[in-house]
Structure 1
Amino acid sequence: MTDFAALLQADRGQPAHLIHTVHKDGFEDWLTGQPERTRVALDAALFKGKPEQFALIPGAKPEDWSAVIGVPEQNGPWNLAGAAAKLPAGTYRLADGDSGPAALGWLLAHHRFDRYRSEAEPIPQRVLLTADPARIAEVVRQAAAVALVRDLVDTPASDMGPAELASAVEAIANANGANFTVIQGDALAQGYPMIAAVGRAATRARAPRLIELEWGDAAHPRVALVGKGVCFDSGGLDIKPSAGMLLMKKDMGGAAHALALASLIMQAGLPVRLHLLIPAVENAVAAEAFRPGDVLSSRKGISVEIGNTDAEGRLVLGDALARAAEHDPALIIDFATLTGAARVALGPDLPAMFANDETLASDLIAAATLASDPIWRLPLWAGYADMLKSTVADINNAGEGGMAGSVTAALFLQKFVPATTAWAHFDTFAWRPSAKPGRPRGGEALGLRAAWEMLRTRYAG
């Protein structure tokens, strides 16, 4: 794991190279005030202050060089990430102002997933100095949480099955003094029949389980986090085509988000009673696989007709949500890589957010803006509930007609949450299809920082 704490340090006047940040509209005015050697160097580099442009500037002495980068007008978390990935090893400070939210991108530009590389290229260590040392711990925690999501999602299913996911939760539970339990076997089949049914075709080594973590003072408000932990999704008997299966190692991305958020809560000592639930399964193909047309019972007592075995995520979440609700939490948040429909509607960068509580929805949207972690609210449109009707059971797991797929999935989940419990559901992609500064192609945390900002504001002030 990257030592993020070593890369962001308090500015005590120690020697450092300067980084100038300029916006293209103000670049010419800034350039006018620079010495001739700077103007000549930037002219030769064709530097115009456009976002993500980068150049080194010679100083009066060889060791006095500095850097200049083009940034957007708004100071966002990724403004320094491009430069951080290109600068030589060394210590740096901004020439004008402080890094603010851009410190996060600086740290994450140093993170790599190189577990499977025989010769991992060393990453130059660039230390950023900050005049706001009180924020260092929080920025480091957020960077570590994002890196955790990326690493878990990038790990192939061969090394990230239900057992390995449970081990990842156990390690974080032990590091924070939390209680950790796993329910599997007969106890799972009797108490969580939908989780058991989805995972029963997997081999014994990859058997389904419900992973739980509890932490904090029981007198504090209870916050439940639920994450979809489908460690690989073949689609089951409604098998996916090869192209649709290619990225299905990321179908446990919801679990990665929930675990990372739980880690943030515990490390920051947020005054809540935390309850993390991860239904961990592999949706495999075998003689024991659940079938289209089957009717499953659920922990809540709702009977579910299976219209499509590839709509398995909502099944395992349903049992976990029902379990979370039994403790009467003040708030439930779930994360899931649930529907392709959300990606068609919003693309890969923008998680869909559903909420049954207007205050919660407003708080999440405000927090997303503040954290520069965008989300988009979609409606729990009750009129579409008819799409989930079954002629033989209480509800069908797959909507008819192929329309409003993300909405009908959220409506299915809502059946397992009491109307009096504030609940938010994130339908997130958990993947970045193309690289951007500080954000490599692969697993990605989308909606994590928005949810954390909301919780931190609500419970810590």
Structure 2
Amino acid sequence: MPLTFADPGTPAIPLHVVAEDGLEAWLAAQPEATASWLRATGFTAALGQAAPVPDGAGGVGLAVAGYGTGASRARGRFHLAGAAATLPEGTYRIEGLPPEAAEVEALGWLLSHYAFDRYRAQNAAKARLAAPAGVEAARLEVIAAGEALTRDLVNTPAADLGPDALETACTDLAARFGARAEVIRGGDLIARNLPMIHAVGRAAAQAPRLIDMAWGDAGPALTLVGKGVCFDTGGLNLKPGSSMGLMKKDMGGAATVLGLAHMIMALGLPLRLRVLIPVVENAVSATAFRPGDILTARNGLTVEVNNTDAEGRLVLADALALAAEGTPDLIISMATLTGAARVAVGPDLAPYYTDDSHLATALDAAAARVADPVWRMPFHAPYEAMIEPGIADLDNAPSGGMAGSITAALFLRRFAGGLPYTHFDIYAWQPKPASARPKGGVGMGARALLEALPEVLGL
């Protein structure tokens, strides 16, 4: 089912949203048959509950969705998505929802219809929604489509989404919106001075590459950089099997950037967008890069490779150096970069790094409005020494394991040319099913960024 609202004018079943503390008053105002039915079926207005009420002809006359309590709502998001998943097929019209919650709940309803069915038929929700009054329906449909793109890319295994297929996804997106797309591939990476992307990806069957997409010819310049490691074995520092099982999602940064780019272009934001995605598979063969190797990045900095499993920052470094040469107004990188970030904030928060307090304030407020939680982390300058090994300018994997996400972010900042720079260290995966988020790939931070960009860039 498409992630869209029902066509305007479609007859809709009233869906009353009722909080626990308002249930008795609401029931008292209903016909006796409705109140008796709901009491008999055990409806308590708990969060996630939904109950259809029959009409006299055996159909659904109305439905009720529980909205819980303030405390229960604070422990989650997209509260009405559960109703979408359990109500009978039909089109519903929400009534009684606080206006400030309408946009988030409507988006959650759309996202509840997402199902990754490439390999097996899935049972998606069948309850459609009429767009609530005051909600920008077309905008929410664009956002849902961008999120679905991200999820589809992350969910697809590397056998079907290697570097070739990820390149196709990028060029297809560019063609759809009339963007320019250039691909620098294989040995041309050396000729074009992108040596670390080449070093990381040269051992794989499919050639490493950099995808450079540009859209828009007026307004402030925004460059998005996404980590596109289609599969990460760890290289010669081979991951154990238990750590390799989810590595199809190591291109989650690229997938999230592409979902955000879709939103920006489809909504026609008045800016100049550039998307840079280094695409590799970190594989093992005779040509694999080695622990102890010293690589020279695009900007001339030398990097000692102390762990080939810290490859994401290497490919991002070349892409960031290229981004900086274009002197955009803002560079944002997104990557499934460190396990340390997951230890710090878990799978539900998108930690980000920035030196720009104005951006952080705008982003935090935007994240709260659109239910896309983020958490600011520090570019802690005293830790710079931890990424300086002595034999080279930088160390890609400082020993000791302390502050792993921070040191990775500091490493990346060395390549941003002193320009305004924000880095997201995301997980891109929903480990357990939740409202509007089935287990699997998920976007993190993109909707918050989309909401914040007008204020951050002065659009």
Q: TM-score, normalised by structure 2?
A: 0.94
1:450 matches 2:448: yes
Cα deviation code 1:268-308 (max 9, x no counterpart): 11111111000000001111111111000000100000011
Residue correspondence of structure 1 range 12-51 to structure 2 within 5 A: 12=9, 14-51=10-47
Cα deviation code 1:44-86 (max 9, x no counterpart): 2221111101111223443352111112546996122111112
| Distance in structure 2 (CA, Å) of the matches to 1:317 and 1:166 | 16
| Distance in structure 1 (CA, Å) of the matches to 2:106 and 2:23 | 23
Of the structure 1 ranges 332-341 and 36-45, higher mean CA displacement relative to structure 2 is found in 36-45
Instruction: Give 1:336 deviation, angstroms.
Output: 0.2
Residue correspondence of structure 1 range 75-224 to structure 2 within 5 A: 78-97=78-97, 99-117=102-120, 120-121=121-122, 123=124, 125-132=126-133, 135-190=136-191, 191-203=193-205, 206-217=206-217, 219-224=218-223
Instruction: Give 1:125 deviation, angstroms.
Output: 4.0
Q: Is the 8 A contact 1:8 1:127 kept in 2?
A: yes
In the other structure, the counterpart of 1:227 is 226
Instruction: Give 1:109 deviation, angstroms.
Output: 1.2
Where 1:85 maps in the other structure, the secondary structure is helix
Where 2:187 maps in the other structure, the secondary structure is helix
Of the structure 1 ranges 358-367 and 403-412, higher mean CA displacement relative to structure 2 is found in 358-367
Residue correspondence of structure 1 range 44-443 to structure 2 within 5 A: 44-63=40-59, 65-72=61-68, 73=70, 78-97=78-97, 99-117=102-120, 120-121=121-122, 123=124, 125-132=126-133, 135-190=136-191, 191-203=193-205, 206-217=206-217, 219-419=218-418, 421-443=419-441
Q: How many residues align?
A: 451
Q: Is the 8 A contact 1:388 1:408 kept in 2?
A: yes
Tell me which amino acid in the other structure corresponds to 1:197.
A
| Distance in structure 2 (CA, Å) of the matches to 1:134 and 1:369 | 17
Cα deviation code 1:424-458 (max 9, x no counterpart): 10100000000012110000011111111111444
Q: Is the 8 A contact 2:358 2:456 kept in 1?
A: no
| Distance in structure 1 (CA, Å) of the matches to 2:6 and 2:104 | 12
Where 2:219 maps in the other structure, the secondary structure is coil
Where 2:44 maps in the other structure, the secondary structure is coil
Where 1:65 maps in the other structure, the secondary structure is strand
Cα deviation code 1:4-61 (max 9, x no counterpart): 23x3444x4x532110111112222222222222222222222111110111122344
| Distance in structure 2 (CA, Å) of the matches to 1:124 and 1:312 | 39
Q: 1:329 to 1:236 in 2, by over 3 A?
A: same
Tell me which amino acid in the other structure corresponds to 2:200.
V
| Distance in structure 2 (CA, Å) of the matches to 1:87 and 1:56 | 7
Identity, % of aligned positions: 51
Q: Is the 8 A contact 2:226 2:255 kept in 1?
A: yes
| Distance in structure 2 (CA, Å) of the matches to 1:270 and 1:418 | 26
Where 1:116 maps in the other structure, the secondary structure is coil
| Distance in structure 2 (CA, Å) of the matches to 1:324 and 1:383 | 26
| Distance in structure 2 (CA, Å) of the matches to 1:447 and 1:209 | 25
| Distance in structure 2 (CA, Å) of the matches to 1:134 and 1:64 | 25
Q: 1:244 to 1:261 in 2, by over 3 A?
A: same
| Distance in structure 1 (CA, Å) of the matches to 2:30 and 2:265 | 48
| Distance in structure 1 (CA, Å) of the matches to 2:281 and 2:222 | 27
Of the structure 1 ranges 72-81 and 289-298, higher mean CA displacement relative to structure 2 is found in 72-81
Tell me which amino acid in the other structure corresponds to 1:96.
G
Q: Is the 8 A contact 2:93 2:132 kept in 1?
A: no
Of the structure 1 ranges 163-172 and 123-132, higher mean CA displacement relative to structure 2 is found in 123-132
| Distance in structure 1 (CA, Å) of the matches to 2:145 and 2:24 | 38
Q: Is the 8 A contact 1:361 1:424 kept in 2?
A: no
**Structure 2 regions of 5+ residues with no counterpart?**
none
Cα deviation code 1:298-330 (max 9, x no counterpart): 001000000111000000000000001100000
Q: Is the 8 A contact 2:50 2:83 kept in 1?
A: yes
Q: Is the 8 A contact 1:410 1:425 kept in 2?
A: yes
Instruction: Give 1:232 deviation, angstroms.
Output: 0.2
Where 1:257 maps in the other structure, the secondary structure is helix
Tell me which amino acid in the other structure corresponds to 1:136.
A
**Structure 1 regions of 5+ residues with no counterpart?**
none
| Distance in structure 2 (CA, Å) of the matches to 1:400 and 1:123 | 46
| Distance in structure 1 (CA, Å) of the matches to 2:413 and 2:159 | 32
Instruction: Give 1:230 deviation, angstroms.
Output: 0.4
| Distance in structure 1 (CA, Å) of the matches to 2:430 and 2:132 | 32
Of the structure 1 ranges 130-139 and 402-411, higher mean CA displacement relative to structure 2 is found in 130-139
Indicate the RMSD between aligned Cα atoms, in angstroms. 1.8
Instruction: Give 1:193 deviation, angstroms.
Output: 0.6
Tell me which amino acid in the other structure corresponds to 2:389.
S
Q: Is the 8 A contact 1:270 1:460 kept in 2?
A: no
Of the structure 1 ranges 97-106 and 181-190, higher mean CA displacement relative to structure 2 is found in 97-106
Q: 1:386 to 1:94 in 2, by over 3 A?
A: same
Q: 1:456 to 1:62 in 2, by over 3 A?
A: farther
Q: 1:106 to 1:315 in 2, by over 3 A?
A: same
Tell me which amino acid in the other structure corresponds to 2:181.
F
| Distance in structure 2 (CA, Å) of the matches to 1:124 and 1:287 | 48
Q: TM-score, normalised by structure 1?
A: 0.94
Q: 1:125 to 1:47 in 2, by over 3 A?
A: closer
